[in-house]
Amino acid sequence: MSEEAASGLLEPYERLIPIEVLGRLLEVPDNNLLLRQLQFLAPEIGFGKYCWNGECRYCEVTYRRESDGAELSALACRVKGFPGMCVTKLAAEVRYNLSLALARAQRAPR
């Protein structure tokens, strides 16, 4: 178990899973809410304006599933990231907090 999971920040996880965010490949801990997964890569998210309970909508995302390609809207504090998840839109607050991690990440193949 990782130090973050042991400290209570993340749920226990077995491995890192691949997700795509705005055309960039990221690896995040499985078994966690998307906002926590993104915080794993960008600790600044912990200092954002998020309520963490779904009321503020500062963490709204649009994502696509590999299986059927359907675009869905969700709150990152309420949905777990999954292998192959493709996040196509981020709320401004999340995009701002994640900008450095996205700039460093490898581009997803087209």
Residue 34's pLDDT is what?
98
Q: CA nearest 42: which of 106, 107, 94?
A: 94
Residue 105's pLDDT is what?
97
Whether 3 shows a pLDDT value over 60: the answer reads no
Residue 6's pLDDT is what?
45
Q: From the centroid of its chain, how far is CA 54? A: 15
For the chain, how far is it from start to end, CA to CA, in angstroms? 34
Percentage of the residues of the chain whose pLDDT score is greater than 90? 85
Beta carbons within 10 angstroms of residue 86's beta carbon = 17
CA distance 82 to 17: 7
Domains located in the chain, CATH noted:
3-105 (3.10.20.30)
**For 33-76, how does the pLDDT look when each residue is reduced to its tens digit (9 = 90+)?**
999 999 999 999 999 999 999 999 999 999 998 878 889 999 99
Beta carbons within 10 angstroms of residue 96's beta carbon = 15
**For 84-103, how does the pLDDT look when each residue is reduced to its tens digit (9 = 90+)?**
999 999 999 999 999 999 99
Global pTM reads: 0.91
Residue 98's pLDDT is what?
97
Residue 91's pLDDT is what?
97
16-48 CB burial, b ≥16 within 10 A, e <16: ebebbbbebebebbbbbbbbbbbbbbbeebeeb
